[in-house]
Amino acid sequence: MIVEQNGNKTADKEHSVFIDARKSIRLIGVVEVISCQDGIAQLKTNMGNMQIVGSSLRVEKLDLENSLIEIVGNIGGIKYAGSADRKSIFAKLFK
């Protein structure tokens, strides 16, 4: 489900990562592609910023309207950076 939040369309917290034999990665929940170079792809997802590292990386498919990206190449790893706007237990208790 796509919702509009602060003028930006995002998937309503749907977030999935599929890696196939370290040769391709498909992500659901992508909001923005920050950069994509041969060895690193930086993405903004609805669960925080993400880095995909490897070699010979290239975007095979990009559909931001449906929050989907597929990157092919030699996938070395993925890393989340930053938070996913998670609230602490105290913030939830004292709304």
Quick one: average pLDDT of 24-53?
A: 94
Residue holding tokens 């709304």?
95
Structure tokens at 32: 């923005």
pLDDT at 54: 96
Angle at 39 (CA atoms; ends 26, 19), nearest 5 degrees: 20
Query: For 41-85, how does the pLDDT look when each residue is reduced to its tens digit (9 = 90+)?
Result: 999 999 899 999 999 999 999 999 999 999 999 999 999 986 555
* pTM value > 0.75: no
Q: 5 and 18 in contact (C-beta within 8 Å)?
A: no
Q: 32 and 23 in contact (C-beta within 8 Å)?
A: no
Residue 6 predicted with pLDDT over 80: no
Domains of the chain: 2-93 (2.60.40.2000)
Q: Output the CA torsion sign for 18, 81, 45, 64.
A: negative
Dist. CA 43–CA 54, nearest whole Å: 14
